[in-house]
Chain A
Amino acid sequence: MTELLLSFRLAFLVTAVLLVCATPLAYWLAFSKWRAKFLVEAVVALPLVLPPTVLGFYLLVAMGPRGPVGKLWLILYGHTLAFTFAGLVVASVLYSLPFCVQPLVASFEKVDPKLLAASRILGADEDRTFFRVILPLSLPGVITAIVLTFAHTLGEFGVVLMVGGNLPGATRTVSISIYDHVQSIEYAAANQLALTLLAISFVLLAIVYGLNRRAGVRWIAH
């Protein structure tokens, strides 16, 4: 059960961190007129195409005792970031970034520019326009971003294994635990965890899609 709790703690944290960090990034990607924007878009999308081991490998190197992040962490906290829960959070944030950013960008871009113009002409600055017009109208996209980020973090395996290793209570997540059980031919235990994960994931997705449907329809009908 500790593995399950750890996985959920990780997924919650990563989702929270990403919502705060990815929203301004998504806003910028949706509305910036900078010509080289596509480069940033490509970087954000990288985790989608890279094998988790590649990303995990570079993160491990960066977080290790000779990597820049690892060195800094060593000075601040007396140990490196690799093979810790904090390291897992950092790695997962990067790995799940596109799953949070892309739905947000897509829904921000879908907001009618005339509404944004109307908001500004009515005296609202960019911040107010964002919170009063863009965000409420992008609610389905926000929900999608939350779900995808959460589910993706919950199910990740490769990056966690590379960066976190397999330390019970610290970095052993559900997916790694299942792998462990299978390796030790403990199919019953593996099945129990897998089934729990499956059920929880399904319930989560069902709730979110249900909410999303209502949110999407709300402005059209009532």
Chain B
Amino acid sequence: MDCALAPRSLSVRARRARGSLQLDVHFSAKPGITILFGPSGAGKSTLLDCIAGLVDPDAGEIIAGPHVLFCSERKISRAPQQRRLGYLLQSVALFPHLTVKRNVEYGISHFLKAPREKAVREIFEMFRVEKLASRKPSELSGGEAQRVALARALVTNPDALLLDEPLSGLDAGLKNSIIDDLRAWNARHQIPILYVTHSREEVDALGEGVIALENGKVVATGSPREVLDAPRNRQLAQAIGFENILEGTVLQLRSSDGAMRVQLGASACEIEVPLSHASPGDRLNVAVRAGDILLATAKPVQLSAGNVLEGNLEHLDQRGSMVIARVNCGATFIVHITPRAVRSLALAPGQKVWLVLKTHSCHLVEHQ
């Protein structure tokens, strides 16, 4: 098996309508990890099933490396066993009646004994599972099972690897060490890896190209910062944790400042947001993270921030090490503060407070 082939890529164009899910995507993934991000029900798993051949798209074309796996125009649909892919599910699906070694050998049992033993030895080393060789899957921890499942998928030298929230049950340290081993393996083999997740922490931690999926459509692509920090869609913003999503109307453009003023709802509350292609009177949503808002008990002066809003502290709710404050400034904002801040500022409901929002912490989300 020669690994130094031309870089393999994965190109997917797929349309599939079933029930409430209207999948319609078009993207390609280069060698390396590409994150498929979206809330549950966005169609991520269906998309992976389409690529793996467990279900067929209604129309489209799927090409992995040199092979056309599916093409509706040419009526090509390879069976899953002929697609040369690796696919890891959340439940690792190791064969419970086979030892770790037998599991890993499963996909290469047609190899001669010597190359088979060699391939298994190498992949065992790569994913540090040599010691588990004679164990049964029921005797493995969660992390060990994931390592074995990765080894089993990758020993076949697939054209692409699909991971469906594979590490969601593991703690961060374990997760990182597995991802590191996966990256090390892929440094040599250079295959596209589609990594499905609905957790923004994972997106941040992996730090690779992101494809954001929403209601079966690709709504954003780019780096994690680009996709997560500038959501262009309300549901996506909710999915990635913007606690404040407020409807607003554009009042005035200030091109020279790179900003525009937006009136929130029907209130008198006005804020400054980054300039975008809009004209006065346009409706849009403004998304602000609860953790990006400062709270003060006296009016702050001499600040770089574009927005200082006066409001009434309506409610405080302690959740573990975080306090959720609800502040009414005409529009209602959720603000995350620390219990220490509550004590030192002697915060109590009914109090007058000021909120500070940087212009660039206010993200514009398209209005629906």
Contacts and interface: CB of A to CB of B under 8 A. Distances in A.
Interface of A: 112, 114-115, 117-125, 132-133, 136-137, 218-222
B93 A118 contact: yes
Contact of A123 (B81, B97, B139): B81
16 contacts: A112-B93, A115-B95, A117-B89, A120-B79, A120-B81, A121-B52, A121-B53, A121-B83, A121-B86, A123-B84, A136-B97, A137-B97, A219-B96, A219-B136, A221-B138, A222-B136
A219 B83 CA distance: 30
Contacts of A221: 138
A132 B106 contact: yes
Given A114-B91, A219-B96, A219-B97, A121 B85 contact: yes
B56 to A, nearest CB: 14
Contacts of B81: 120-125
Interface in B95-142: 95-97, 106-107, 110, 136, 138-139
B357 to A, nearest CB: 47
Nearest to B162: A121
A221 B79 CA distance: 35
Nearest to A132: B106
* Consensus secondary structure, chain A interface: helix
Given A120-B81, A121-B81, A222 B139 contact: yes
Contacts of A136: 97
Nearest to A222: B136
A121 B107 CA distance: 8
Contacts of A117: 52, 54, 80, 87, 89, 93
A137 B93 CA distance: 13
Contact of B138 (A115, A118, A123, A220): A220
B264 to A, nearest CB: 47
Q: Lowest 4 A-B CB distances belong to which pairs?
A: A122-B107, A118-B93, A120-B80, A219-B96
Interface residues of B, number: 28
Contacts of B94: 118
Given A123-B81, A124-B81, A124-B106, A118 B136 contact: no
Contacts of A218: 97
Contact of B87 (A115, A121, A133, A220): A121
Interface string B53-86: 1100000000000000000000000011111111
A122 B91 contact: no
Interface of B: 52-54, 79-87, 89, 91, 93-97, 106-107, 110, 136, 138-139, 152-153, 156
Residue among A118, A120, A133 facing the most chain B CB atoms (10 A cut-off): A118
Contacts of B136: 219, 222
A80 B53 CA distance: 52
B26 to A, nearest CB: 24
B65 to A, nearest CB: 15
B80 A121 contact: yes
A137 B136 CA distance: 14
Residue among A121, A124, A220, A221 facing the most chain B CB atoms (10 A cut-off): A121
B250 to A, nearest CB: 50
Contacts of A220: 138
Residue among B53, B91, B106, B110 facing the most chain A CB atoms (10 A cut-off): B106
A118 B152 CA distance: 10
A123 B109 CA distance: 10
Residue among A112, A123, A218, A219 facing the most chain B CB atoms (10 A cut-off): A123
A172 B96 CA distance: 46
Given A120-B80, A122-B107, A125-B81, A133 B93 contact: no
Contacts of B79: 120, 125
A73 to B, nearest CB: 43
Given A114-B91, A136-B97, A122 B106 contact: yes
Contact of B156 (A114, A119, A122, A133): A122
A127 to B, nearest CB: 11
A137 B156 contact: no
Contacts of A119: 95, 106
A198 to B, nearest CB: 35
A114 B93 contact: yes
A112 B153 CA distance: 18
A121 to B, nearest CB: 5
Contacts of B54: 117
